[in-house]
Structure 1
Amino acid sequence: MANWKQLEVHTEDQTPQKWSVSLSEDMFKRFFALGSPVVHRSFGDGSLFSPLLFGKYFDPSDAFPLWEFESDVLLSNLRSSGKTNIDWFQTDDAYVLKADLSAGLENNTVQFFVEHGKIMEISGQWKPKRDQSKTKDWRSGNWWEYGYVRRLELPGDADWKDTEAYVRNDLFLEVRIPKSSLDSDTPPAPGKGILAKISDHL
């Protein structure tokens, strides 16, 4: 039976200058060419955290408007070669992201943030800093040397306060962000959350 673990959705993060250092394409090429197997798994073809996931180079620390595009279009080449198990879509009442995290990442380090109700951030650290100084977080410098990130713009009608994020068997991430209802403030009926929908398919 599948083991689902809920991720805490953090909304308070006072880390100064977080993601302020951009990962340029030239820098990424040099870093990746000399990288370890963990680097290749974290940032390689098909990974949620790869700068090349969408067909062209895009710094994953910059917020990408994911739900403005169809996954079939942006991931067509990767899917045709069987290199990715990532999908995103929207239903009548929610925005959904599904991603395979099995590319060698230590998934118990995955953290989930929503910034100011506008940006969704999935990140994690796979290499501890030698300097354990508390004055500088790993995300404030050359973050790619220590971890990974994918930041996504939330649609304007996303009800981010009720975001749910789960990891199945420490391998598969599923995120559900309800759409805000302008007609009613009535909460959804019991059993209509992501776990109930997941259970229907087990």
Structure 2
Amino acid sequence: MSSRKQVAVFTDDQTLQKWNMSLRKDVFDSFISRSEPILHKIFTGGSLFSPLLFGKFFDPSDAFPLWEFESAVLLSSLRNSGQNTSDWFETEAEYGLKAELPGVKKYSDVQICVENGKVLEISGQWRPQRETGAKDWRSEYWWEFGYVRRLELPENADWRKIEANVDDEIILEIRIPKNHLVTSEESKPV
């Protein structure tokens, strides 16, 4: 039986210690060329955090990376492959996201932040520990990896009431209530 833990959702007024590294195609290619299975699970095969999610390298500096795609075409290969490790859903009351977080060992590795009430950022880091047989050595972090995905929130999302949970299988579930006032204001005749 899995247990669920709530994950804090930070807003603009709360400062997170964030890390930053430019992700260019050459940097990503050298990173992914390592033969570590966890890297391939996280960064390929339909993971929410893959820069190759849409069939090409996603360059964060490209202001309009998806202009040449239609959404149905864009995600069809992921749906057909059965490799998509994230599920989106919408009900009358809320939006939802469930995503697998491979490689995350503890709940504190996941950070969720809402920026300007418009962008939901899911990020985290993990640091493999060095294993040695010597008793005098202490385990230290020799390298670290991370992931980040930024998602634009719908206009009627009530971002102040976002809830996020992670379970033992490291499945992240985010629920974003709809703000029905925004919807009803938009539908009023002028």
TM-score (norm 1): 0.66
Unaligned 5+ runs, structure 1? 129-143, 185-202
Deviations 1:55-103 (A, max 9, x none): 3322469899xxxx86x654322332222231113222222111122x3
Distance 1:164 1:63, change over 3 A: farther
Counterparts of 1:179 and 1:97 in 2: how far apart (Å)?
Answer: 14
Indicate the residue corresponding to 1:132 in structure 2: none
Counterparts of 2:61 and 2:119 in 1: how far apart (Å)?
Answer: 11
Aligned residue for 1:75, secondary structure, equals: helix
Counterparts of 2:17 and 2:181 in 1: how far apart (Å)?
Answer: 34
Aligned residue for 1:51, secondary structure, equals: coil
Report the structure number with the largest CA radius of gyration. 2
Indicate the residue corresponding to 2:146 in structure 1: 147
User: Deviation at 1:41?
Assistant: 2.8
Counterparts of 1:22 and 1:178 in 2: how far apart (Å)?
Answer: 33
Partners of 1:41 and 1:105 within 8 A in 2? no
Counterparts of 1:105 and 1:159 in 2: how far apart (Å)?
Answer: 28
Partners of 1:98 and 1:174 within 8 A in 2? yes
45-54 vs 35-44, which moves further:
35-44
Count of paired positions: 165
Partner AA of 2:15 in structure 1: D
Percent of residue pairs bearing the same amino acid type: 53
CA RMSD of aligned residues (A): 3.5
Partner AA of 2:89 in structure 1: F
Indicate the residue corresponding to 1:51 in structure 2: 51
Indicate the residue corresponding to 2:172 in structure 1: 173
Structure 1 moving runs of 4+ over 3 Å: 34-38, 59-64, 72-75
Deviations 1:114-154 (A, max 9, x none): 122121111111127xxxxxxxxxxxxxxx95311111111
Indicate the residue corresponding to 1:160 in structure 2: 159
Partners of 2:4 and 2:166 within 8 A in 1? yes
Unaligned 5+ runs, structure 2? 65-69, 129-142, 184-190
User: Deviation at 1:45?
Assistant: 1.7
TM-score (norm 2): 0.70
